[in-house]
Structure 1
Amino acid sequence: MIRRTPVVGSRVLAERVGVPVLLKCENLQRTGSFKPRGAYNRIANLSAAQRGRGVVAASAGNHGQGVAWAAGELGIASTVFMPVGASLPKLVATRAYGAEVHLVGDSIDESLVAALEFAERTGATLIHPFDHPDIVAGQATVGLEILEQVPDVGTVVVPTGGGGLLAGVAVAVRALAPGVRVIGVQAAEAAAWPDSLAAGKPVRVARMSTMADGIAVGLPGAVPFAHVAELVSEIVTVDEDALSKALLLCLERAKLVVEPAGAAGVAALLTDALPDPRGPVVVIVSGGNIDPLLLTRVIGHGLAAAGRYLAMRVTIDDRPGALSALLAVVGRAGASVVDIVHSRTGPWLAVDEVEVSLTVETRGAAHRDGVLEALREAGFRVHAEL
């Protein structure tokens, strides 16, 4: 059955914002995210006839796994349509939970069309990821648990995509503790909610481009919208650097494997997107299903954003000892070389010049700036740094 996920304190975040901060670890839920809560509630409320025809969903990850697990627990057949490019770990996990998986289309929208056609053809019930009262009610159990675990909670921070989790938590928390602030967090590159709330209705975002695929939803749900508009205190956004830094902090300091979407609330605290939060603050860590290959890239991005990686291109003279001199400056500055590429070709290089692409480990933003300053003081031309 559904797990009562733990709440753990975060000293580093508490020191940052000045009030107690706790993480609600839905990344430790069944299937690795909060999604089974809503999926189980929705499927459990189906009639016997509906159960006999099975359920269908469209998903690239967490929702499909939640539906597959819930259907399996209730002895119901499930079918999940996923994009052709869905990550292998999510595909394997969805099948392992018992779903019949079909790869259709290049996007969730195309997979959803196939799922709707399947539902019409077979009579299977489409399980929407967020736009249904039973889904919202299932996600509300996260809010109920928070009130039981942290009775004096002042603010709840919720990663937000279609709005099912945010709406459910807001309904539960504000009904039992009206003074608690509920705040949604979106990726800035996939933020449909601010414009939707301003317009008074769900409005589709023009484009999306974010590593936080779990909350990259172009159009908020109509069912969640009514609750969010009435009960949620604020919607804030965070950029890609903040998401990667937050994921890295969860790994290093909280020892939690978290996907970018799941780290959105942590990112909001790291970037002061929540001015003067009322404590204690509970941040919902909504999921931990991240492809190991993506995790590797995001860690690298997070290290660079935190000033712990420095990638640069340096032009040096094409003469014996020039490369050694460059590396000697780097060494004296206390940086550690990760990789180096030495190239004599390039239309921007003079005949007696060489370009060195160099990546080094640094100890933070101040040390990173110090390494760059040392190189420039030594007469090296640093063409670009990332």
Structure 2
Amino acid sequence: MGRMRIHRAWFVAAVAFVAILGAAGFRATPGVLITPLENEFGWSKGTISLAVSINLMLYGLTAPFAAALMDRFGMRRVVTLALLLVAAGSGLTVLMTASWQLLLLWGVLVGLGTGSMALVFVATVTDRWFVRHRGLVTGILTAAGATGQLIFLPVLAHLADGPGWRVASLSVAGAALAVVPLVWLLLRDHPADVGTTPLGGEAVARPEPLPGAATRALRVLRDAARTKPFWYLAGGFAICGMSTNGLVGTHFIPAAHDHGMPQTVAAGLLALIGIFDIAGTVASGWLSDRVDPRVLLGAYYALRGLSLMVLPSLFAATTEPSMLVFVIFYGLDWVATVPPTVALCRRIYGADGAVVFGWVFASHQIGAAVAAVGAGLARDQFGAYTVAWYAAGALCLLAAGMSLAVRTVGKRREDGSAAGRPDRTSESAPTH
């Protein structure tokens, strides 16, 4: 009996997992640097949050252009360059002396780098390499973000509290550089590059590079913006970003510290969210292959909103059982929204689905940027984060309604060969 061969698609997915894992860890780092930077330089939380806000916004706005650039130059080149940008941005922070340098390095360079390894990378990998298990792999790769948070946050928090935040920043730079050889040697752009087929699909020729990446990204936005489903998905995902990366990801640690909880303990709780996020996101990917994605999104947003409204009453100097319940529940829901959103973009917009998702993801990060700086300003103004938690909870309930309002007509082919233009029939007004 011959040995069973592992399909090359799984190796590509493994390399993508490592790169996305690193990107998530790099992006989560500012959460543990807010208090040390405030103590050393005297910068306000609002000022430091502005750098995080720029990072989050560029992380999103870079995504659709990164998807188009991957079609033009290949995933391997784009991801390699992105890792080098992250290493430069993080490493140079040890030399900064003014707040504008934080905005440039952590805001611009790291934002551009991590944005090029954002969830559009997930969509591109799964579109090119998988037909069978596409939803499941989307969930697994999305969960890499939670794994990165789980690995990096506790380590960086201890480094920031011990040797100092500069050691933490240099560690991020070193980790980014360490991933570069792995990506360059093992990541491949198309199954045809290595003479194989997508997993579960038929052989397809390697497509010609698409010129005008920026023009294509803008054209896809123009076409998608003429359809109602795009605005429902983008609006819901903006609220998703507000309630996760922008609010909890950036301000959970300083908010817990306000109540007397040590920063390392708070970072551990945020990392614990990452543990349960892995399970929740993989399960969501599996469900997205079997359950109406609109229903999944509606349930995820509604439950998240209710949990955020409870959170202000759970903060304490010690870790109480009620806070652990929140961490488990919120972790399961953290980025479970991604697989059904990717599935809806693919179903409605066909071959342009990855780029459309890039723009939807851009709205996610714009929302995150608004929440990051808004929550910081609210803390400076009111002395507490309470208003931010309640506002995010209410917006999540609105996102649940928007998700259920999405209408699709028919199911496009899942091999990515569907027409690139959106279904005009899906523009019909939602039935309430």
Greater fraction strand = 1
- Report if TM-score (shorter chain) is over 0.5: no
Q: TM-score interval w.r.t. the shorter chain?
A: under 0.3
- Larger C-alpha radius of gyration, 1 or 2? 1
- TM-score (normalizing by structure 2): 0.23
- TM-score (normalizing by structure 1): 0.25
Relative contact order, CA 8 A, sep 6+: which one is greater? 2
